[in-house]
Structure 1
Amino acid sequence: MLPSKAKMIVKRDYFKDILFGVAVGDALGVPVEFKSRQEILKKPVTDMIGYGTYGMPPGTWSDDSSLTFCLADALADGYDLQKIADNFVKWRYKNFWTARGEVFDVGMATQQAIERIAKGARPDLAGGFDSHSNGNGSLMRILPLLFYIKDKPIKDRFTIVKEVSSVTHGHIRSAIAWFYYLEFARKLLSGGDLLEVYNQLKTDVTGYLNTTTIVRSEVEIFDSLLKQDIYTLNIDEIKSSGYVLHTLEASIWCLLNTSSYSEAVLKAVNLGEDTDTTAAVTGGLAALKYGFETIPEKWLIMLSRKKDIDDLAQRLAVKY
């Protein structure tokens, strides 16, 4: 029998952290998606609500979580790009991994890529490769890939990230955003302090990108993260549109200007515009930092398909 004062060491379940962290943030943002920051400011989101933009009950998550779960579902059986792509098609046309049996939100670039896959396109060539194809539709679903790449060399991590991004978003800018996000998440696995992680990435990510043939102008687009201190910016300088860079910047800004999971995701939602994606992307990292146990129970109770998400986390735990 343990001494009365002995502390039990609780093993972190990073799989639950990620899946529930993304889904809860997503569900918080769904009811107010597309509302402006000024409009939300009149009645800030402080809790899990429902209906609103899509008329969905509280706890309903959107395509952000659906595609995250589709990726995780494929990875639970190993890395197979075709299976990942096929899962996206099953989601879009057969309601696979939907919150309530229907697809009610899908980005244009993602829709076009899935149509190409359904017609037989190679997964790594399905996404758009032009500079206008840099919405946040690949960033929002990427986090489960962390478990597959975390122990690989940095060059391999970038190559795989670019490959998976290209299923829906093939431009190098989207790949860099994914890469930065997953490198941030990877360091959080080691329990790093948020500010220390942020500053370390300035060296690590910049150092790696400088070894590649990526044009400098694309790397310079990320200067707010790689050269500056984004957390010092005023909220008016943070954008929250569906552009991948805006979503990445907003999520890191929210994370570095809060001290808990709930604070981080609510700050993300209240930025307005693409509220579900900003909160989902923020929520994944915030849950890695603070743990599944810190997500308010009242939010988890309302979350759609909670048992299925838990089962998926267990499948990932067995594999990785």
Structure 2
Amino acid sequence: MARTLRDCIYGQAVADALGVPYEFRPRGTFLCTGMVGHGSHNQPAGTWSDDTSMALAICDSYRELGRIDVEDIRARFVRWYRQGAYTVDGLFDIGNATRAALERGHGLSGEWDNGNGSLMRTVPLAYTDATDDEVRAVSAITHAHAVSTEACVAMVKVARELIGGAEVADVAGDAAGRSANDIKSGGYVRDTYDAALWCLANTSSYAECVLAAVNLGDDTDTTAAVAGALAGIVYGMEGIPDEWLSALRGAEVIEACLF
């Protein structure tokens, strides 16, 4: 069955919301088994974070313009940052590099600027006609170092292969065969890339995948958001537990951005 942008975005948003209450908590200090609220950001259950908001900004730009327009996407990011666009109740989380880039008007390109803040929003680009250079340019709005831009290009290629029906084992690469102890789940872009693919490759359902991502600890919402976007492509919305979809907040915001 062909998977749509809706499958991907809801896959991301639900996983993001699962991870929000546990962000910054070390692996092994908690166990996520379902949708709960409060925790790290004191948000109601079902509230997604900056990961999904920024993905929706990209989707909304493409929905309206029918093409990749970096300046329009940047303007929508600023509206999210300044005015709370593409959120449920307003912004409550933003990465340091993303904040600095939006304040300065250009992406950060230092070696230490390779957080996962552009990767977290990049999977939906697989549903556009974005070229590799356009994917790089969208990343570079905030994260302009080659490590970040190339991770985004690679992730879009993985997502497009999954959309086309490729087997997970064929796209997961080296990450699939690692042990959990070798998978890092902090904010570094390459770690998030590997962790998302590891979760997808070592589970057999949407729920197993995203719970594995959250329970890796640390940057729980972003690891889960990326893994969840991919799992949404693989398993579809029908694979997302009904109780999680029912608990998800802001569905009207999501629906308004889809193309």
Q: 1:240 aligns with which of 179, 185, 190?
A: 185
Q: Quick check: 290-299 or 165-174, which moved more? A: 290-299
Q: CA deviation at 1:175?
A: 1.0
| Residues 1:36 and 2:26 are matched in the alignment | yes
Instruction: Tell me the alpha carbon deviations over residues 58-117 of structure 1, each in whole angstroms, 9 at most, x when there is no partner.
Output: 0001100110111111111222111100000000111101121x2110000000111123
For the residue of structure 2 that corresponds to 1:170, the secondary structure is coil
Q: What is the one-letter code of the residue matched to 2:236?
A: G
Instruction: Tell me the alpha carbon deviations over residues 201-228 of structure 1, each in whole angstroms, 9 at most, x when there is no partner.
Output: xxxxxxxxxxxxxxxxxxxxxxxx4xxx
Matching residue of 1:166: 140
| Residues 1:50 and 2:50 are matched in the alignment | no
Q: What is the one-letter code of the residue matched to 2:87?
A: T
Spell out the pairing of 1:8-157 with structure 2 (5 A cutoff): 12-40=2-30, 44-77=31-64, 78=66, 79-100=68-89, 102-117=90-105, 126-149=106-129, 157=131
- Extract unaligned runs of 5+ from structure 1: 1-10, 118-125, 151-156, 199-224
| Residues 1:290 and 2:235 are matched in the alignment | yes
Is the Cα–Cα contact under 8 Å of residues 169 and 176 in structure 2 kept in the other structure?
Answer: no
Residues 309 and 75 of structure 1: CA distance in aligned 2, closer, same or farther (over 3 Å): same
Matching residue of 1:206: none
Spell out the pairing of 1:251-262 with structure 2 (5 A cutoff): 251-262=196-207
Is the Cα–Cα contact under 8 Å of residues 27 and 276 in structure 1 kept in the other structure?
Answer: yes
Q: CA deviation at 1:13?
A: 4.9
Q: 1:178 aligns with which of 141, 152, 160?
A: 152
Is the Cα–Cα contact under 8 Å of residues 23 and 61 in structure 1 kept in the other structure?
Answer: yes
Distance between the aligned counterparts of 1:287 and 1:49, measured in 2?
20
Distance between the aligned counterparts of 1:88 and 1:163, measured in 2?
14
Distance between the aligned counterparts of 2:129 and 2:114, measured in 1?
23
For the residue of structure 2 that corresponds to 1:128, the secondary structure is coil
Distance between the aligned counterparts of 1:243 and 1:197, measured in 2?
21
Is the Cα–Cα contact under 8 Å of residues 300 and 306 in structure 1 kept in the other structure?
Answer: no
Q: Report how many residues are paired.
A: 257
Distance between the aligned counterparts of 1:176 and 1:262, measured in 2?
28
Is the Cα–Cα contact under 8 Å of residues 162 and 234 in structure 2 kept in the other structure?
Answer: yes
Matching residue of 1:249: 194
For the residue of structure 1 that corresponds to 2:29, the secondary structure is helix
- Extract unaligned runs of 5+ from structure 2: none
* Structure with greater Cα Rg: 1
Distance between the aligned counterparts of 1:230 and 1:189, measured in 2?
20
Identity %: 43
Q: CA deviation at 1:238?
A: 0.5
Q: What is the one-letter code of the residue matched to 2:15?
A: G
Distance between the aligned counterparts of 2:57 and 2:175, measured in 1?
32
Task: Give me the TM-score of the superposition, normalised by structure 1.
Answer: 0.78
Q: What is the one-letter code of the residue matched to 1:98?
A: T
Q: CA deviation at 1:251?
A: 0.4
Residues 13 and 38 of structure 1: CA distance in aligned 2, closer, same or farther (over 3 Å): closer
Spell out the pairing of 1:213-224 with structure 2 (5 A cutoff): none
Find runs of 4+ consecutive structure 1 residues off by over 3 angstroms. Answer: none
Task: Give me the TM-score of the superposition, normalised by structure 2.
Answer: 0.96
Q: What is the one-letter code of the residue matched to 1:235?
A: A
| Residues 1:303 and 2:227 are matched in the alignment | no
Distance between the aligned counterparts of 2:250 and 2:175, measured in 1?
36
Kindly report the root-mean-square deviation, in angstroms, between the aligned alpha carbons of the 2 structures: 1.2
Q: What is the one-letter code of the residue matched to 1:116?
A: R
Distance between the aligned counterparts of 2:252 and 2:94, measured in 1?
24
Distance between the aligned counterparts of 2:242 and 2:255, measured in 1?
14
